[in-house]
Amino acid sequence: MAMRELVTGGAACAVPGSSSSSNPLSALANALTGSSSKTRDRIKEIPTSTTTGTEPPFYQDATAEDRLKALPGADFDHSFSRHPTLQSSEFLRNFRTADQNGFADAWEEIHRSGPPPPPALLDHRLPPPQFQPTLEGPPQRVLSNFLHSFVGSSHGGIPFRPAPLPALGLSEGDKQCIRDRSSIMARHFFADKNEDFINAQVNALLSSLDIDGDVQAKGPFAGRFRELEDYWNESQGAPRHGPPQTDGWVSEFSQHRIEHGDPNAWAHSFEQQHGPNSWASEFEQEQRLVSAADQMRGANISNLAAMEQTRMLAHTLAQNNDPKFQNSKFLQFVSKMSSGELIIDDNQVKPAALSSPGDWATEYQQKYTAGPSWVDEYAGNQLSHGPDQWANEFSAEREQRPVDDQWVNEFSKLHVNDWADEFGRQVGEGAFGESSADNWADAYDEYLNEQVVAKQNSDASRGVYVFSDMNPYVGHPNPLKEGQELFRKGLLSESVLALEAEVLKNPDNAEGWRLLGIAHAENDDDQQAIAAMMRAHEADPTNLEVLLALGVSHTNELEQAAALKYLYGWLRHHPKYGTLANPELSDSLYYADVARLFNEAAEMSPEDADVHVVLGVLYNLSREYDKAIASFQRALKLKPQDYSLWNKLGATQANSVQSAEAILAYQQALDLKPNYVRAWANMGISYANQGMYEDSIRYYVRALAMNPKADNAWQYLRISLSCASRNDLFEACDSRNLDVLQKEFPL
């Protein structure tokens, strides 16, 4: 990193010339030459010791070594702790007043031609300052006058009288500053537009200010490199598309932040797939060629392109009918700057003769005497920007697509090939050599396809029940009875095996699947629980217990739509409340409708504990925990022996930040059913939430001892170990070594 910043700091860092610089080279250069505005900034901020003899040592240090900036905030202790009494610092403050503000004020005054200075500045203006070094000063002040009077004139209808720009013009740093900031901001303003448009916008503004070509040529492709890495990292988790990842892909051409980050990761994996066939070097060669070509074409093309883009801008602005936007000073500012109504000529700002848009071509010809050849050049330019068209097409298509839950898959299937091919083709015709681009596109295409396949596989795996390998109950004469017996005894893991044997034997046995689902839920394994319950639901779509269990499981996963579906199904299939259900409703379920129906049901038969249970679950879904707690408590009055109800009450209390009460409820559940793994795990969570990590670990370990397959509990355990600063036990946790953990944390 250090090396990169040394070399390229100007690009990645803020603004070497204007107000800040972290680039060691430019800082060094400033210090040596003493000619940049940056150095002057420092001088005015640092009190010099030549005039005083009795300063605190810090200030002498600072003046000797120009260290004020090198030690950020080093003056803090002094001014903070000593104020307001110390005399010498009082003196310094006065000194600084004179030095700092006087300088700035003088600046404002000298260069402010049009509008009056802001009132606050007038208060502490100084007599003619003797510090002023040269006439051409920090250029942004000059520019700000110019920009301001320009904006002001557009507002009040006053004819714009441009102030003469001093010879210095804009420093490279300022140009870069304008360029970087306006391109980042433009992405926010013009969210609806594609990258192409945004770039055009920015370029138009920049070219009007005579900021272009040279700045841009520094690293037009740097961004791509970065994007590849982004893709690599991000698509590990998700093939995601959105600016700046996708659209930004192209725009990064022009955004020259040479931040390669860690391209090795990408390059490495690329090499693993395709062998180290010097992709990188090829790429760099191409890059050099192209940027050289760009430079050769020079500013002519960019100006021309900017002018062309002007029309796009005018078009867009005209499209927005909102009067507020039509009146926006900022948008007018952007518009005028980019439409060439303002030009910088011979270091003088001139309003261009207000000509019809068609004249730009003529003007251009006159100015650059490019003759008819500009058409060719322009065409060439278009070609070299071929990928932009891809961005257009891509965003156009994307906008048309409705957002649905399958969009990623669909997108990948439909568009990945398209754009990769398209890109390959375009770059083949365009500026790049064929081999590298094609390789890249192919590789990326392949990679994305793999991702899609992997994704589909993982989707499929959800909801599929996974059987245990070695099941001693296979061949048992009556595994269902055995499973029920084991479940009653609280031997959950054993009963799971027996029930698996049952459903292997009778795959349509709803009761077998249901009990299996319950056993998994109580064993704190929701994935398997949902999978089993889905099978039970297939076997018997009207089983109320199954519907309720599925509703609860989906509530646990915070999947509102699915939960509502099953809970509503429960109501619809209930012999008593089925009449309440409106068949039309089942297509589009809204939480409010379902909740209303269950409230009606509860009024109908207030003595039915089940209705209160469902209501409690529903209120969990809407996070109305107080109501949920009330519902569960009502149900518990009717069914005090239902351990799972006590657990639900506890979970709800825990979720509404009543962890202490929750522990009491879990205790009730565990008194009724000592092998209730989920309650043990929940108990651990409640202790963890109260900051009692050691206790929480004991409960997690206890739960895991009963069911080592409870993956969630292992995760929770790891978190508690970390919070309790028991990192020494991470290894035991990661290797799932319960013996060590139980010894360390007996309950």
Partner 1 sequence: MPVFKTPFNGYSVKFSPFYESRLAVATAQNFGILGNGRLHVLSLPPAPASPLTELISFDTADGIYDLAWSESHDSLLVAAVADGSVKLYDTALAPAQNPIRSLQEHTREVHSVDYNPTRRDSFITASWDDTIKLWTLDRPASIRTFKEHVYCVYSAAWNPRHTDVFASASGDCTVRIWDVREPGSTMIIPGHDFEILCCDWNKYDDCIIATASVDKSIKVWDVRSSRAPISVLNGHGYAVRKVKFSPHHRNLMVSCSYDMSVCMWDFMVEDALVGRYDHHTEFAVGVDLSVLVDGLMASTGWDELVYVWQHGNGPESTLTKGSVSCFPFFFFFVKSFCIFLMEVVRLEVKA
Count, residues near partner 1 per rule CB under 8 A:
127
Q: Which of residues 407-446 bind partner 1 (CB under 8 A)?
A: 407-409
Part in contact with partner 1 (CB under 8 A); list of ranges 55-63, 580-588, 633-641, 715-723: 715-723
Q: Which stretch binds partner 1 (CB under 8 A): 285-293, 348-356, 420-428, 453-461?
A: 453-461
The half-sphere exposure of 149 on its side-chain side, counting CA atoms within 13 A, is: 23
| Residue number with CB closer to partner 1 (261 or 490) | 261
Binding mask 350-389 for partner 1 (x = CB under 8 A): ----------------------------------------
Under rule CB under 8 A, which residues in 610-639 are in contact with partner 1? 617, 620, 622-623
Contact 586, 559 (CB under 8 A): no
Q: Which is nearer to partner 1, 22 or 278 (CB)?
A: 22
Binding mask 126-145 for partner 1 (x = CB under 8 A): ------------x-xx-xx-
How far apart are the C-alpha atoms of 342 and 326, rounded to whole Å? Answer: 19
> Among the candidate windows 350-358, 403-411, 499-507, 535-543, which touches partner 1 by CB under 8 A?
403-411
* Interacting positions 27-56 with partner 1 (CB under 8 A): 41
Q: Which is nearer to partner 1, 22 or 134 (CB)?
A: 22
- Minimum CB distance to partner 1, residue 646 (Å): 11
Q: Which DSSP symbol is given to 349?
A: E
Q: For residue 345, list its beta bridge partners.
A: 348
- Structure-token pair, residue 260: 């390669």
- Select from 389, 471, 689, 742 the one that contacts partner 1 (CB under 8 A): 689
Enumerate residues 647-686 that contact partner 1 by CB under 8 A. 647-648, 650-652, 654-655, 657, 662, 678, 681-682, 685-686
Task: Report if residue 177 touches partner 1, rule: CB under 8 A.
Answer: yes
Considering the complex, state which of residue 3 and residue 120 has its C-beta at the smaller distance from partner 1. 120
| Footprint on residues 572-611 left by partner 1 (CB under 8 A) | 590, 592
How does DSSP classify residue 263? Answer: H
Query: Which of 135, 184, 318, 383 is close enough to bind partner 1 by CB under 8 A?
Result: 184
Q: Does 561 bind partner 1 (CB under 8 A)?
A: yes
Q: Which two tokens stand for residue 75?
A: 């003056």
Q: Is 245 in the site for partner 1 (CB under 8 A)?
A: yes
Check residue 181 for interaction with partner 1 (CB under 8 A). yes
Query: Which parts of 515-534 interact with partner 1 (CB under 8 A)?
Result: 521, 524, 526
Contact 361, 213 (CB under 8 A): no
Which C-beta is closer to partner 1: that of 230 or that of 294? 230
Q: How far is CA 436 from CA 224, 433, 441, in A?
A: 14, 6, 9
SS3 168: coil
By CB under 8 A, tell whether 100 contacts partner 1. Answer: yes
72 scored as a contact of partner 1 (CB under 8 A): yes
Exposed (0-12), middle (13-18) or buried (19+): which is 242, by Cβ within 10 Å? exposed
Residue closer to partner 1 (CB basis): 12 or 441: 12
- Using CB under 8 A as the binding rule, whether residue 715 contacts partner 1 is answered as yes
Residue 177 or 486: the one with the smaller Cβ distance to partner 1 is: 177
Cα–Cα distance, 452 to 538 (Å, whole number): 28
φ, ψ for residue 125 (rounded to 5)?
Answer: -85, 155
SS3 call for 361: helix
Give the one residue of 382, 506, 633, 722 binding partner 1; rule: CB under 8 A. 722
Quick check: helix, strand or coil at residue 658? coil
Least distance from partner 1 to the Cβ atom of residue 362, Å: 31
Is residue 69 a contact residue for partner 1 (CB under 8 A)?
yes
3-state secondary structure of 204: helix
Minimum distance from CB of 74 to partner 1 (Å)? 5
Q: Are 257 and 223 in contact (CB under 8 A)?
A: yes
Report 75-94 residues binding partner 1 (CB under 8 A): 75-76, 79-80, 83, 93-94
Kindly indicate which of the ranges 127-135, 265-273, 554-562, 633-641 contains the residues binding partner 1, using the contact rule CB under 8 A: 554-562
Q: Measured between alpha carbons, how far is 644 from 621 in angstroms, rounded to an integer?
A: 18
Q: Which of 104, 313, 536, 703 binds partner 1 (CB under 8 A)?
A: 104
The residue among 183 and 384 lying less far from partner 1, judged by its C-beta, is 183
Residue from 8, 15, 336, 536 that binds partner 1 (CB under 8 A)? Answer: 15
- Minimum distance from residue 732 beta carbon to partner 1 (Å): 18
Q: Give the DSSP letter of residue 344.
A: E
Among residues 427 and 496, whose Cβ is nearest to partner 1?
496
Pick between residue 304 and residue 634 the one whose CB is nearest to partner 1.
Answer: 634
Contact set for partner 1, span 214-233 (CB under 8 A): 226, 229-230, 233
Cα distances (Å, whole numbers) of residue 560 to 524, 528, 568, 618, 628: 20, 19, 12, 9, 16
Whichever of 308 and 624 has its CB closer to partner 1, that residue is 624
Give me the helices (H) in 434-557, please.
434-461, 479-489, 492-505, 510-522, 526-539, 544-556
Residue length of the chain: 747
> Does residue 560 belong to the site contacting partner 1 (CB under 8 A)?
yes
Asked if 189 touches partner 1 (CB under 8 A), the answer is yes
Contact (Cβ atoms closer than 8 angstroms) between residue 680 and residue 703: yes
Distance in Å, CB of 138 to partner 1, minimum: 8
Type of residue at 639: K
Cα separation, 427 vs 429, in Å, equals 5
Both tokens of residue 340? Answer: 């060439």
Say which amino acid occupies 200.
Answer: A
Whole-number Å distance between alpha carbons of 541 and 316:
55
Shortest reach from residue 720's CB to partner 1, in Å: 8
Structure tokens at 311: 């029309």
Nearer to partner 1, 299 or 408 (CB): 408
Integer-rounded Cα Rg, in Å, for the chain is 36
- Give the long-range contacts of residues 418-421, CB within 8 A, separation 24 or more: 419/390, 419/393, 419/394, 420/444, 420/445, 420/448
* Secondary structure, 3-state, 541-586: CCCHHHHHHHHHHHHHCCCHHHHHHHHHHHHHHCCCCHHHCCHHHH
**CB 731 to partner 1: min, Å:** 17
Residue 244 interacts with partner 1 (CB under 8 A): yes or no:
yes
Instruction: Kindly state whether residue 180 participates in binding partner 1, applying the rule CB under 8 A.
Output: yes
187 binds partner 1 (CB under 8 A): yes
CA angle in degrees (0–180, nearest 5) for 76-78-83 = 105
What is the footprint of partner 1 within residues 488-517 (CB under 8 A)? none
Q: How far apart are CA 373 and CA 297, in angstroms?
A: 12
CB of 150 to partner 1, least distance (A): 10
Residue 587: its H or E element = none
d(CA 429, CA 418) in angstroms, rounded, equals 16
The answer to the question of residue 19 lying near partner 1 (CB under 8 A) is yes
Residue 343 phi, psi (nearest 5): -130, 155
* Nearest approach, Cβ of residue 329 and partner 1 (Å): 6
**By C-beta, is 356 or 588 nearer to partner 1?**
588
Quote the least distance from Cβ 557 to partner 1, whole Å: 7
